[in-house]
Copies of this chain bind each other. A is one copy, B any other.
Amino acid sequence: MRVSAKADYAVRAAAELAAAQAEEAPVKGERLAEAQDIPLQFLEHILLELKHHGIVRARRGAKGGYWLARPADEVTIAEIVRAVEGPIAHVQSTPPEDIEYRGNSEHLQAVWIAVRASLRTVLEQVTLADLVSGELPSVVGELTSSKDAWVAR
């Protein structure tokens, strides 16, 4: 139940690309790495994965770089996380809907399904456009408004 460095990096780099979308010119990997303080060579691997998933595009050579394949308001955080981390909320590496629980843990499946659904309500709602503008969907506002949400446990 943790967010990997890779996923964090991927979203941050994508946020930079979203912000640069107006410029109409590719952004170099180096600039992304500097802007978000990410090891360049590691970032290049991540960007490649995002490219393979159709989230970003790239061109080589002088004047080359990366850009978003789609408008920033059509790319969700969930997509990016899935691209680099794989499916969200799998249990023992299998999707919760495929697991069969017996005995007294019969209803655990519903709990894991609910866990996944709750993650989706956040990650699939927030787009890169939301992220860079700071105008996050109301669901985020509701979840973060309580003081309690900001303290560890």
A interface list, Cβ under 8 A from B: 1-5, 7-8, 11-12, 15-16, 18-19, 35-37, 77-78, 81-82, 85, 87-93, 95, 97, 101-108, 110-123, 126, 131-132, 134, 136, 139-140, 143-144, 146, 149-153
**Copies of this chain:** 2
Not counting A1-B119, A12-B101, A118-B119, a sample of 16 additional A-B residue pairs whose C-beta atoms are within 8 angstroms of each other reads: A1-B85, A3-B89, A8-B91, A8-B108, A12-B105, A15-B105, A19-B104, A35-B102, A78-B153, A82-B153, A108-B131, A110-B140, A110-B144, A111-B136, A113-B144, A113-B149
Query: In the bound complex, do residue B131 and residue A107 qualify as a contact, i.e. CB atoms below 8 Å apart?
Result: yes
Query: In the bound complex, do residue A105 and residue B149 qualify as a contact, i.e. CB atoms below 8 Å apart?
Result: no
Known: A104-B35, A113-B143, A118-B121. A3 touches B134 (CB 8 A): no
Q: Which of B102, B118, B132 contacts A36 (CB 8 A)?
A: B102
Interface majority SS on A: helix, strand, loop or mixed? helix
Q: Which of B82, B93, B152 contacts A95 (CB 8 A)?
A: B152
Known: A2-B91, A140-B110. A105 touches B37 (CB 8 A): no
